[in-house]
């Protein structure tokens, strides 16, 4: 192992291209397809990287489980040098997919603009090193390029997270970038033009709809793909199991990975609360106000594991799960507490012996 | 019969409803220049071929075979413009080659189907024999998706019929090269087989696999060779399982193939050179038909069961073609495949993505959602790169749909769903050349539709039609003056027979007299129902009359019989009016049920009142009305001794009897009616609500003088009368003519005094009745009551109104809720 990778081991969270370095190299080596300009592998290899498979004897783990067709559509979009917009409920793996696509296609998933209410147009285009600007006037050295500008110069892919959190005028700065594929630096009298391979993957949250709605002009410049919640329980359990295992390894959690039973219970509770109906579709259930996504199920389980490791014996107990569930479902609203109480009393209680332990623990915490 | 002579026959295996197959088949026909074209289809329908190929026959059309006896069983063979069979027949017509169908005749198919149903449902024969009108058959998903010949439908009551129908569809599983995946369980394994093929090819579904590998490949011979290999291996994989699981389906296939061989041999014997005979059949059968070994002998043929059947051609719709098949032989999107066929014929298959997506965008724009040309271009590009991910030469249907969703729908399928449905399926229906073989009822219906200028409603899109039955005085001819009335007769007759061409829409007008609203929509089912109607008679009118008399014979209640009288009137069936009158008369002869009698009276009264708008002489109905009315009057008092629940129905009966009495004051004995009402009003042992109602009617008619009325009120509401009697009576009184009630201050004084005299417990009882009585008052009426009471209490109208209509306090709310659970004990 090289020193570089050792230092990488220390970082809290590795970018996808380092985490799956081996898989990417294997895919590149085994790739026989035509590689589009600016890409580091063929579209088919990218598809294998995301949906799993095998390349040159190396097993490729699936990164996005569930709907293969959506991934195909995302890749097909990027082949046609169109920008891609992923929309979905919180926790439907929008950022995860965008990061992995970028890692596979461009090899660097680090060119990110994080959209917030405070994001300014400079962060999308470019800004200045004001000390140098004042000292020497406008010069290429004083120019501070945005991630998007750097991606244009390198012919790579920039990511724009939570685009709908930005003010409309900031969003609209993208319009000229996406249609002209240049950024004009008026102060220097220069244009920075995109090289082949440049594209943008943006993500937006459906819960933010109506906050800063994207203009029609901007929407028109994106291919929009809606990422759904996992289609069925099995898919969701699969996703949760895989991510929990990965995170546990990464953070070196000293607790056993939760068994199938615990996974199934958590996923069942989450799915029922999310859809407002019990899995057998026989009972109506109230939904809490906050989002209860797959991503939260994952963090709930890893959180519970941390609890078990730090304060328990490393074995995931019902009490740990109950604490996690309480925190994930009852956010700040008192109403959520009632919803949760109702669920415990009406649904969980009737589930029989296997749920008894969890029921008691939840009941105790929520009363 | 020498088998050697069969060598060299050109067998062309196809998938039904496959434009690629049609394209390749035409090239093959050009190459071989056959003198005989033999097509898989019912051999007894060969006579219909000449109608099929006529210039003004516009597909989709279908051959319909049906049994002549009840229960009617039907089988359908649909053809689209891109059906290889249809293309072959047209080619033969153009080049003077002999064309014929060679599959089992429909008479045998239907007989086998009937036999199979009996076998599968022992002891259930009773339920199967459904009158054709009561249970119009729907073309069920005729077995295997691709089992284009034949689509069969049984006359089994809906539900559970699938398995039964499936087998006669013949080709069961894998019978076709198409993914003949039936929905029912036994063949589920083969269903997996097609999924597995798609999965191995990395395609989302089998249809996409099929399109990418067979429809898009236009290199010579590619279709025939790959498909024959494909179905050969499929047959190997499935045939054993089929033999094990469904002996019948297996045997059915064997019989069909043997019969087809016989017909091929017959063509050779008739002098056609074997090398110039082309056989067009499902690829599943292609291998078997390459030799005529095992052709059916005369003896075997004679042993096959026969049913008496008739055939007719009928227009078909793309909608039906798509929904019939489920997994469909590539016909999940007939509209799309027609576009593909058109592009192929123009030699420009590669333009299909533009044509398709431009069409979707045009549909979107037409419905008000603007999408730019730039977006269409991007959608085509995206579809292409999706196809490239699968090494496809050009986008398949799934690619185009996904691209449309992403670009034109901006990620949302719901935005483009309607436009896609329009483009994929479309509303197209076929058309037959004039005078093409039809049943007499079909002919009659078509003639009437034309005569009544209803032809433009004969589309797959639902259209509204508003009729004004009154005479149009601005036109010259009588036919024109009563056009709408005659239309109404026809539509009512159709719905009586059970032909679902038109559905009545509830009119905004109560008791609609001269206006009617209909929604007209043509469906292949309507056509089938029309064919079935031929069992009932030669024309629509005769069929309607017979249906009605059947219903009359079966009807056993007064209400039903009087409803039939109305239907006879709506349908303009004067002859049946008499018959239904007799039926009603018999039924009513010993009925003492006032509620039913009242319903009959009200039906008859309506028919009499509005009969002349339909130009019907309804006077013969008068004596019957009089009889029923008198009988109802006489039994009124007796029937009024009922509990509160039954009183609700009685209330309605009394109101409708009274309405009839006023409507036909001259013909009916109103005096008797009022006399009986007076009796009811004065009796204390009848239901108090009904007594109250009778009193209200008498007041309204002015029979009861103001003084007598006040007397009655004070008698009924005097202290000591139990609350449920007093207040219940008041409730009945308050049901009619509230203004008159409100204006009588004396009445309110008495009510007020009565309530004040009640004890706590009794008051609560009374409250229950009063609440119900006042709940139907309008706010304005309540305000008027408040005003009167305000005067009484000396606090002024406004204040009282505020008090009465203001929000309730929590305590009051609770008291009211307690009332809801009030226990009447003895009541």
**A131 — pLDDT class (breaks 50, 70, 90):** very high
Instruction: Band the pLDDT of B181: cuts 50, 70, 90.
Output: very low
Residues B68-114 pLDDT 10s = 776 777 788 889 999 999 999 999 999 999 999 999 999 998 888 88
Residue-wise pLDDT for B368-379, tens only, equals 989 999 999 999
**Angle at alpha carbon of residue B374, lines to B373 and B380, rounded to 5°:** 90
Contacts of B383 in chain A (CB under 8 A): 76
Mean pLDDT of A237-243: 85
Q: Which two tokens stand for residue B455?
A: 């032809």
Q: Where are the alpha helices (DSSP H) in A143-232?
A: 147-154, 168-180, 216-219
* CB proximity B417 to A under 8 Å: no
| Residue B362 vs residues A219, B355, B357: alpha-carbon distances, Å | 20, 10, 8
Distance of CA A304 to the CA centre of its chain: 21
A244 or B123, higher pLDDT: A244
Cα separation, B247 vs B254, whole angstroms:
10
Phi, psi of B583 (to 5 degrees): -60, -45
Q: Measured between CA atoms, how close is A347 to chain B, in angstroms?
A: 30
Task: Decide if pLDDT at A180 tops 80.
Answer: yes
Region A310-336 average pLDDT: 80
pTM of the model: 0.71
Q: Do A79 and B412 make contact, defined as CB atoms within 8 angstroms?
A: no
- pLDDT category at B7 given cuts 50, 70, 90 is low
| Closest residue of chain A to B398, computed from CA coordinates | A69
| Residue B809 binned pLDDT confidence (cut-offs 50, 70, 90) | low
Cβ neighbours for A229, distance < 8 A, ≥ 6 positions apart: A88, A89, A92, A236, A274, A293, A294
Give the residue with greater pLDDT, B657 vs B822. B657
| Chain-chain contact of A223 with B407 (C-beta, under 8 angstroms) | yes
A47 in contact with B at a CB cutoff of 8 Å?
Answer: yes
Residues B78, B352: contact at Cβ < 8 Å? no
Cβ burial, residue B286 (10 Å; 0-12/13-18/19+):
buried
Angle between helices A43-51 and A21-30 (to 10 degrees): 140
Residue closest to B503 by CA, chosen among B518, B514, B486: B518
d(Cα A113, Cα A102) in Å, to the nearest integer? 14
User: For an interface test with B, which of A68, A70, A80, A214 has the most B Cβ atoms less than 10 Å from its Cβ?
Assistant: A80
DSSP B275: G
pLDDT tens for residues A343-355?
888 888 888 888 8
Could you tell me which chain A residue has the CA closest to the CA of B374? A220
Radius of gyration of chain A (CA): 23
Residue B99 pairs with which residues in a beta bridge? Answer: B37
- If we measure between CA atoms, which residue out of A106, A180, A117 comes closest to residue A147? A106
Q: Which residues of A touch B200 (CB under 8 A)?
A: none
Q: What span, in angstroms and rounded, lies between the C-alpha atoms of B115 and B107?
A: 12
Q: How many helices (H) and strands (E) does chain A have?
A: 17, 11
Quick check: bond before B150 cis, omega within 30? yes
Q: The tokens of A172 are what?
A: 């609209």
Alpha-carbon distance of B262 to B39, in angstroms, equals 13
Sort out which chain B residues have CB atoms less than 8 A from A220's CB and list them.
372, 374-375
Residue with tokens 């391979």: A197
More confident residue, B249 or B22: B22
- Name the minimum distance, in Å, from the CA of A223 to any CA of chain B: 6
- Of B282, B183, B187, B170, the C-alpha closest to B237 is B187
Does residue B60 surpass a pLDDT of 90?
A: no
Read off the pLDDT band of B821 (50, 70, 90): low
Residue with more model confidence, B435 or A362: A362
Q: So what's the pLDDT on residue B314?
A: 82
Nearest to B406 among A75, A79, A223 (CB): A223
Percent of chain A at pLDDT exceeding 90 = 32
- Give per-residue pLDDT as tens, B703-732: 877 778 777 877 887 767 777 777 788 888
Angstroms from B407 CA to nearest CA on chain A? 6
Judged by CB atoms closer than 8 Å, whether chains meet at A69 and B204 is answered as yes
The answer, for A75 touching chain B at a CB cutoff of 8 Å, is yes
- Token pair belonging to A47: 């598809």
CB contact A213 to B (< 8 Å) = no
The nearest alpha carbon in chain A to B204 belongs to A69
- How far apart are the C-alpha atoms of A305 and A327, rounded to whole Å? 14
Asked if B410's CB is within 8 angstroms of A72's CB, the reply is no
Angle at B171 (CA atoms; ends B169, B176), nearest 5 degrees: 125
Taking only the tens place, the pLDDT of each residue in A287-311 is 887 767 888 888 888 888 888 888 8
How many CA atoms within 13 Å lie on the side-chain side of B288? Answer: 23
Read off the pLDDT of residues A63-118 as tens digits, 9 standing for 90 and up.
Answer: 888 788 999 999 999 998 899 999 988 778 888 999 999 999 999 999 999 988 88
CB A362 within 8 A of CB A326: yes
Give the list of residues 6+ apart from residue B400 with CB closer than 8 angstroms, or none: B353, B356, B357, B379, B383
* Residue B812: CB atoms within 10 Å: 10
Closest Cα in chain B, distance from residue A79 (Å)? 7
Question: Between the CA of residue A54 and those of A50, B8, B195, what are the distances in Å?
Answer: 11, 48, 22
**Average pLDDT for B342-353:** 91
pLDDT in tens, A45-55: 999 999 988 88
A77: chain B residues, CB-CB within 8 Å: 382, 385, 406
Residues B316/B430, Cβ–Cβ less than 8 Å: yes
Question: Is-contact A202 A160, C-beta < 8 A?
Answer: yes
Q: Which chain B residue is nearest to residue A73, measuring alpha carbons?
A: B386
Nearest to A87 among B378, B388, B411 (CB): B411
Say what percent of chain B tops pLDDT 90: 14
Size of interface A-B (CB pairs under 8 A): 53
Determine contact, residues B680/B691, Cβ cutoff 8 Å: yes
Q: Do A223 and B412 touch (CB under 8 A)?
A: no
Residues 6+ apart with CB under 8 A from B518: B464, B465, B466, B467, B491, B502, B503, B504, B505
Query: Backbone phi, then psi, for B566, in 5-degree steps?
Result: -65, -40
Q: If you average pLDDT over every residue of chain B, what do you get? A: 78
Q: Is A211 on the interface with B (CB under 8 A)?
A: no
Tell me which chain A residue has its CA closest to the CA of residue B376. A220
Q: With pLDDT > 70 as the criterion, what percentage of chain B qualifies? A: 84
A185 against B668, higher pLDDT = A185
Cβ pair B411:A72 closer than 8 A? no
Instruction: Enumerate the H helices of B468-590 as residue ranges.
Output: 478-481, 483-497, 524-533, 540-554, 558-570, 574-588
Instruction: Tell me the two tokens of residue A101.
Output: 């696509």
Contact B382 A73 (CB under 8 A): yes
Tell me the longest C-alpha to C-alpha distance in chain A: 76
Q: How many CB atoms are closer than 10 A to CB B242?
A: 21
Q: How high does pLDDT run on average in chain A? A: 86
Asked whether the bond before B60 is cis by omega within 30 degrees of 0, the reply is yes
Residues 195-234 (B) with a CB less than 8 A from some CB of A: 204
Residue to substitute from B381, B406, B414, interface A, most A β-carbons within 10 A: B406
**Ramachandran class of A139: left when φ > 0, alpha when ψ lies in -120 to 50, beta otherwise:** beta
Q: How far is CA B753 from the centre of its chain?
A: 60
Q: What is the mean pLDDT of residues B41-66?
A: 88
Statement: residue A261 has pLDDT above 80: yes
Q: Output the pLDDT for position B101.
A: 94
Is residue B119 within 8 Å of residue B504, measured between CB atoms? no
Angle at A58 between CA A55 and CA A61, to 5 degrees: 90
Specify the pLDDT at position B822. Answer: 59
């Amino acid at each position: 192992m090289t020193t570089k990778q050792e230092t990488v081991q220390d970082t809290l969270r590795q970018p996808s291209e380092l985490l799956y370095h081996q898989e990417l190299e294997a895919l590149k080596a085994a790739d026989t397809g035509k590689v589009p300009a600016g890409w580091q592998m063929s579209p088919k290899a990218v598809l294998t990287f995301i949906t799993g498979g095998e390349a040159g004897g190396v097993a490729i783990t699936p990164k996005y489980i569930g709907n293969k067709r959506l991934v195909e559509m995302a890749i097909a979009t990027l082949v046609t040098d169109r920008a891609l917009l992923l929309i979905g409920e919180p926790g439907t793996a929008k950022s995860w997919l965008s990061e992995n696509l970028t890692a596979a296609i461009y090899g660097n998933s680090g060119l990110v603009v994080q959209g917030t209410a405070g994001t300014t147009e400079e962060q999308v285009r470019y800004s200045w090193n004001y000390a140098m600007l004042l000292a020497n006037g406008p010069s290429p050295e004083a120019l501070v390029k945005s991630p998007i500008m750097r991606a244009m110069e390198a012919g790579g892919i920039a990511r724009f997270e939570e685009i709908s959190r930005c003010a409309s005028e900031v969003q609209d700065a993208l319009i000229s970038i996406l249609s002209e594929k240049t950024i004009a630096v008026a102060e220097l009298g220069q244009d920075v033009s995109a090289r082949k391979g440049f594209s943008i993957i943006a993500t937006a949250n459906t819960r933010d709809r109506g906050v800063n709605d994207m203009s029609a002009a901007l929407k028109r410049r994106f291919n929009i793909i809606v990422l759904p919640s996992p289609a069925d329980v099995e898919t969701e359990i699969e996703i949760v199991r895989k991510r929990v295992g990965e995170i546990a390894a990464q953070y070196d959690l000293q607790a056993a990975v939760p068994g199938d039973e615990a996974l199934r219970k958590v996923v069942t509770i989450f799915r029922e609360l999310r859809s407002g109906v019990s899995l057998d579709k026989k009972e109506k259930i109230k939904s809490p106000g906050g989002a209860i996504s797959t991503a939260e199920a994952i963090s709930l389980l890893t959180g519970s594991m941390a609890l078990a490791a730090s304060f328990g014996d490393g074995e995931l107990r019902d009490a740990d799960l109950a604490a996690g569930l309480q925190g994930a479902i009852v956010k700040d609203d008192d109403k959520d507490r009632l919803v949760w109480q109702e669920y415990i009393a009406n649904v969980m209680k009737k589930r029989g012996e296997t749920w008894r332990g969890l029921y008691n623990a939840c009941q105790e915490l929520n009363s | 019969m020498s088998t050697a002579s069969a060598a060299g026959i050109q067998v062309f295996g196809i998938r039904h409803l496959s434009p690629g197959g049609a394209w390749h088949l035409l090239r093959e026909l050009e190459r071989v220049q056959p003198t005989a074209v033999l097509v898989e289809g019912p051999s007894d329908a060969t006579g219909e071929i000449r109608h099929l190929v006529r210039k003004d026959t516009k597909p989709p059309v279908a051959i319909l075979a049906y049994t002549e006896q009840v229960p009617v069983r039907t089988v359908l063979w649909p053809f689209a413009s891109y059906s290889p069979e249809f293309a072959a027949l047209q080619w033969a017509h153009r080049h003077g080659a002999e064309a014929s169908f060679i599959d089992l005749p429909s008479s045998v198919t239907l007989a086998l189907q009937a036999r199979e149903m009996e076998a599968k449902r022992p002891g259930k024969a009773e339920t199967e024999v459904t009158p054709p009108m009561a249970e119009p058959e729907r073309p069920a998903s005729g077995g295997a998706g691709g089992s284009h010949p034949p689509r069969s439908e049984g006359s089994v009551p809906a539900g559970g019929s699938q398995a039964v129908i499936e087998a006669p569809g013949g080709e069961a599983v894998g019978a076709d090269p198409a993914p003949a995946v039936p929905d029912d369980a036994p063949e589920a394994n083969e269903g997996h087989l097609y999924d597995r093929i798609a999965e191995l090819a990395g395609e989302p579904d089998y249809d996409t696999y099929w399109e990418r590998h067979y429809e898009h490949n236009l290199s010579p011979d590619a279709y025939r060779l790959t498909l024959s290999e494909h179905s050969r291996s499929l047959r190997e994989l499935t045939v054993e399982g089929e033999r094990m699981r469904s002996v019948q389906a297996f045997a059915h296939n064997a019989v069909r193939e043997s019969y087809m061989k016989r017909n091929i041999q017959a063509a050779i014997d008739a002098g056609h050179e074997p090398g110039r005979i082309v056989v067009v059949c499902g690829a599943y059968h292609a291998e078997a038909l390459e030799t005529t070994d095992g052709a059916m002998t005369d003896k075997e043929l004679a042993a096959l069961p026969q049913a008496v059947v008739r055939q007719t051609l009928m227009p078909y719709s793309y909608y039906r073609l798509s929904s019939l098949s489920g997994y469909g032989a590539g016909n999940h999107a007939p509209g799309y495949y027609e576009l593909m066929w058109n592009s192929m014929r123009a030699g420009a298959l590669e333009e299909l993505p533009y044509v398709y997506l431009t069409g979707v965008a045009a549909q979107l724009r037409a419905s008000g959602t603007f999408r730019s040309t730039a977006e269409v271009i991007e959608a085509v590009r995206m579809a292409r790169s999706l196809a490239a991910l699968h090494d496809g030469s050009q986008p398949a249907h799934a690619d185009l749909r996904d691209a449309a969703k992403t670009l034109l729908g901006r990620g949302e399928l719901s935005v483009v769903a309607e436009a896609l449905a329009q483009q994929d399926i479309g509303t197209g229906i076929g058309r037959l050349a004039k005078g093409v073989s039809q049943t007499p009822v079909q002919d009659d219906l078509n003639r009437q539709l034309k005569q009544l200028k209803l032809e433009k409603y004969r589309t797959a899109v639902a259209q509204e039609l508003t009729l004004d039955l009154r005479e149009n005085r601005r036109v010259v001819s009588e036919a024109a003056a009563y056009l709408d009335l005659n239309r109404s007769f026809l539509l009512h007759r159709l719905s009586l027979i059970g032909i679902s061409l038109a559905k009545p829409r509830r009119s905004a007008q109560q008791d609609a007299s001269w206006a009617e609203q209909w929604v007209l929509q043509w469906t292949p089912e309507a056509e089938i129902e029309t064919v079935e109607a031929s069992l009932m008679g030669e024309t629509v009118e005769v069929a309607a009359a017979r249906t009605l008399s059947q219903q009359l014979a079966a009807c056993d209640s007064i209400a039903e019989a009087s409803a039939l009288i109305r239907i006879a009137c709506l349908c303009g069936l004067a002859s049946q009016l008499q018959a239904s009158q007799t039926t009603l008369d018999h039924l009513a002869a010993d009925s003492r049920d006032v509620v039913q009698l009242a319903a009959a009276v009200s039906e008859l009264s309506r028919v009499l009142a509005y009969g002349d708008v339909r130009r019907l002489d309804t006077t013969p109905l008068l004596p019957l009305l009089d009889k029923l009315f008198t009988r109802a009057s006489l039994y009124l008092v007796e029937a009024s001794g009922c509990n509160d629940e039954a009183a609700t129905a009685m209330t309605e009966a009394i109101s409708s009897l009274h309405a009839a009495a006023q409507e036909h004051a001259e013909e009916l004995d109103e005096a008797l009616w009022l006399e009986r009402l007076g009796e009811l009003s004065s009796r204390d042992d009848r239901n108090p609500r009904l007594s109250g109602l009778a009193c209200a009617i008498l007041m309204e008619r002015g029979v009861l003088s103001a003084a007598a009325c006040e007397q009655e009120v004070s008698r009924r509401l005097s202290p000591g009368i139990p609350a449920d009697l007093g207040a219940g009576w008041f409730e009945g009184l308050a049901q009619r003519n509230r203004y008159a009630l409100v204006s009588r201050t004396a009445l309110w004084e008495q009510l007020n005094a009565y309530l004040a005299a009640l004890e706590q417990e009794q008051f609560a009882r009374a409250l229950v009745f009063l609440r119900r009585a006042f709940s139907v008052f309008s706010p304005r009426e309540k305000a008027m009551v408040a005003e009167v009471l305000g005067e009484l209490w000396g606090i002024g109208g406004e204040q009282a109104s505020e008090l009465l209509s203001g929000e309730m306090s929590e305590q009051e709310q609770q008291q009211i809720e307690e009332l809801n659970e009030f226990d009447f004990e003895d009541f």
